[in-house]
Amino acid sequence: IYAQKLATTPHEGQKPGTSGLRKGVPVFQQPLYTENFVQATLTAGLGDKLKGSTLIVGGDGRYFLNDAIQIIIRIAAGNGVRKLIIGRQGILSTPAVSCMIRKYKTDGGIILTASHNPGGPNADFGIKFNCSNGGPAPEGVTNAIFEITKNISELIICPELRCDLDIISSHTFKVEGQGEFEVEVVDSVNDYVQLMKEIFDFEAIKQLFIGGRLNILIDSMNGVTGPYVQRIFHEELGAPASSMIQVEPKDDFGGHHPDPNLTYAADLVNKMKEGEHGFGAAFDGDGDRNMILGHNAFFVTPNDSLAVLANNLECIPYFRKTGIKGFARSMPTAGAVDRVAKVKGAECFEVPTGWKFFGNLMDAGRLSLCGEESFGTGSDHIREKDGVWAVLAWLQVLAAKKKSVQQLLMEHWGLYGRNFFTRYDYEGCDSAPANKMMDGLEALIAEKGIVGRKFSAGGKTYTMAKADNFSYTDPIDSSVSTKQGIRFIFTDDSRIIFRLSGTGSSGATIRLYIEGYEADSSTFEKDAQEVLKPLIQIALEMSKLKELTGRKAPTVIT
């Protein structure tokens, strides 16, 4: 096999967002578009380690996966990468990639996914680089990738190299003038399953399913988790095969949004409402998100899920060994976990949106468990959020506590109070009005007298305690990330937060996050939409969202 230099010209807009580069498939299919980004990723991501490096490569099975992997193979070989470890048929969940990077101590990995965005020839694709710690590349690296894409003029590629990914085997190629290049096609689930068995007490979880004590319903939403779920919950833990649905990874996710929330996982929610199951869960396309439901589709918000797990961490063998090193959440995530941390005497960090911000804290041994309101939960067992792990963690707690999901939540709120939370997404807005709205909010936080000002709606009055655009200084490497979301924090800890999404593939998505805390147990069973109504009204008025975007209602409420 020979390698050659190939002239290329830059493509605009190859700036990685919250979690890698996400664009429509037709964008990635443009001549040398994917090639440019892969070359930039290898150059910037690996630096002087590029020659002789080993990488894990895999994705969530969406349309264009195989094409993208073949491009990665050709460019990696051309650039002197020594070895790629690739899941069979290119399938690896995001947490599995993170697990394998760490286990095989590789120099990093490339994940092919647009996560919860729809897939198919006219839907989205994505490419993300993870570093040798198993976590998403930090901003320093993603900025360096973007800089290269702006001036790229040359690729090094083995144009004739192709590799069959259908069977588990190792392929070795001799690249002229360079040496050996190896592609090892591996089982997609083995390493991940082994890690889960080290973390959890599978025997204890198994007891839950004996004699149908607990009926579960797991929805893979035609994403990557299907094979993992069947292996773990059915083969290893003995749950009946009928307790798993949509377990066939499809390249278009069956035409759905593979996003585990009450809107897009409606199939699961409706089945759970029939009352046959005591526990339900769904995952997103690449397997890093999770949604937890109890009997009759009792909804556990991701904020509460994180707090309940934090409160019961000692039920999980892994944490009995490691101890509790600290907790963290992303800024828009409700502060339920903060209350647990306080009682447990543990550190609690607030980081910007995106899993990449947790990695440094974990590497420094200061973070055990963390999460995001966007259905992300995880721990320092890897450096990505992990959907299947979260479900196992819940089942381990249920097995130890011998209580229902709803009981656990009611008791939790009884101890800590309830952080009511909702997120309104306005997807597919035009960029100009969305930016105008954010500019308006910037002006508002800069106003003299904003602190102390009173805002009223629905018979409630809130006093502004703090208004800013969230800025984060990483406590480990002191890197600073600015403009991570406009925050309005009131004297009773209620919060209104505005952000623009960084994972969309076109236009702008406005995210509005609302949080209100209640210690009074008579409110606990109320609907969050009802409790938060006054704050929502204040948020819409102060932002002029409706006037500027023309949107009367959000596209998704979580």
User: How many Å apart are CA 236 and CA 201, to the nearest integer?
Assistant: 12
Nearer to Co ion, 119 or 335 (CB): 119
Which residue has its beta carbon closest to ligand VG1?
Answer: 115
- 278 near ligand VG1 (CB under 6 A): no
Nearer to ligand VG1, 231 or 511 (CB): 511
Nearer to ligand VG1, 250 or 289 (CB): 289
Among 37, 355, 421, 490, binds ligand VG1 (CB under 6 A): 355
CB of 289 to Co ion, least distance (A): 5
- 502 near ligand VG1 (CB under 6 A): yes
Q: Which of the residues 13 through 32 are near ligand VG1 (CB under 6 A)?
A: 18-19
**In the chain, how long is the greatest CA-to-CA distance?**
76
461 three-state secondary structure: strand
- 501 near ligand VG1 (CB under 6 A): yes
For the four alpha carbons of 340, 341, 343 and 344, in that order, the dihedral sign comes to positive
Nearer to Co ion, 19 or 368 (CB): 19
Among 83, 250, 289, 495, binds ligand VG1 (CB under 6 A): 289
- 60 near ligand VG1 (CB under 6 A): no
Stretch that binds Co ion, among 9-17, 285-293, 303-311, 354-362 (CB under 5 A): 285-293
Q: Which of the residues 362 through 421 are near ligand VG1 (CB under 6 A)?
A: 372, 374, 376
Cβ neighbours around 262 below 10 Å, total: 16
Question: What DSSP line would sit under 116-137, residue for residue?
Answer: TS--STTSEEEEEEE-TTSSBP
- Exposed/middle/buried for residue 213 (C-beta within 10 Å: 0-12, 13-18, 19+): exposed
End-to-end Cα spacing for the chain: 51
Give the pair of three-digit tokens for residue 464.
């502004």
Stretch that binds Co ion, among 34-42, 279-287, 307-315, 357-365 (CB under 5 A): 279-287
Cβ neighbours around 143 below 10 Å, total: 14
Nearest-10 Cα torsion for 346, 347, 351, 353: -10
Q: Which of the residues 97 through 136 are near Co ion (CB under 5 A)?
A: 115
- 286 near Co ion (CB under 5 A): yes
CB of 340 to ligand VG1, least distance (A): 20
CB of 558 to ligand VG1, least distance (A): 10
User: How many Å apart are CA 386 and CA 494, to the nearest integer?
Assistant: 29
CB of 285 to Co ion, least distance (A): 6
115 catalytic residue (yes or no):
yes
374 binds, among Co ion, ligand VG1, none (CB under 5 to 8 A by kind): ligand VG1
- 288 near Co ion (CB under 5 A): yes
Nearer to ligand VG1, 83 or 289 (CB): 289
Contacts of 503 (CB under 8 A, 6+ apart): 17, 18, 19, 22, 114, 115, 117
Contacts of 235 (CB under 8 A, 6+ apart): none
Give the pair of three-digit tokens for residue 8.
């290329």
86 three-state secondary structure: strand
CB of 366 to ligand VG1, least distance (A): 20
Stretch that binds ligand VG1, among 143-151, 293-301, 352-360, 515-523 (CB under 6 A): 352-360
The residue among 445, 437, 458, 444 whose CA lies nearest residue 551 is 437
The residue among 60, 96, 90 whose CA lies nearest residue 191 is 96
- 354 near ligand VG1 (CB under 6 A): yes
Do residues 115 and 285 touch, judged by C-beta distance below 8 A? yes
Size of the site for ligand VG1 (CB under 6 A): 18
The residue among 202, 152, 168 whose CA lies nearest residue 11 is 152
CB of 260 to ligand VG1, least distance (A): 9
* Ordered alpha helix ranges (H), 226-292: 226-229, 266-273
426 three-state secondary structure: strand
Nearer to ligand VG1, 504 or 516 (CB): 504
Integer Rg of the chain from CA: 23
Cβ neighbours around 383 below 10 Å, total: 27
CB of 201 to ligand VG1, least distance (A): 28
- Active-site entry in 53, 93, 115, 543: 115
User: How many Å apart are CA 298 and CA 46, to the nearest integer?
Assistant: 45
Which residue has its beta carbon closest to Co ion?
Answer: 115
Among 124, 201, 284, 386, binds Co ion (CB under 5 A): 284
- 511 near ligand VG1 (CB under 6 A): yes
Do residues 349 and 371 touch, judged by C-beta distance below 8 A? no
372 binds, among Co ion, ligand VG1, none (CB under 5 to 8 A by kind): ligand VG1
503 binds, among ligand VG1, Co ion, none (CB under 5 to 8 A by kind): ligand VG1
Query: What is the Cα 29 distance to its own chain's centre?
Result: 25
- Token look-up 């394998």 returns 100
CB of 528 to ligand VG1, least distance (A): 18
18 binds, among Co ion, ligand VG1, none (CB under 5 to 8 A by kind): ligand VG1
Q: Give the per-residue SS3 of 394-415.
A: HHHHHHHHCCCHHHHHHHHHHH
501 binds, among Co ion, ligand VG1, none (CB under 5 to 8 A by kind): ligand VG1
CB of 351 to ligand VG1, least distance (A): 10
Do residues 123 and 93 touch, judged by C-beta distance below 8 A? no
Contacts of 553 (CB under 8 A, 6+ apart): none
Stretch that binds Co ion, among 130-138, 197-205, 286-294, 525-533 (CB under 5 A): 286-294
Q: Which of the residues 102 through 161 are near ligand VG1 (CB under 6 A)?
A: 115-116
Nearer to Co ion, 107 or 288 (CB): 288
CB of 205 to ligand VG1, least distance (A): 25
The residue among 116, 112, 60, 61 whose CA lies nearest residue 84 is 112
Interacting residues with Co ion (CB under 5 A): 115, 284, 286, 288-289
Interacting residues with ligand VG1 (CB under 6 A): 18-19, 115-116, 284, 288-289, 330, 353-355, 372, 374, 376, 501-503, 511
Active site residues: 115
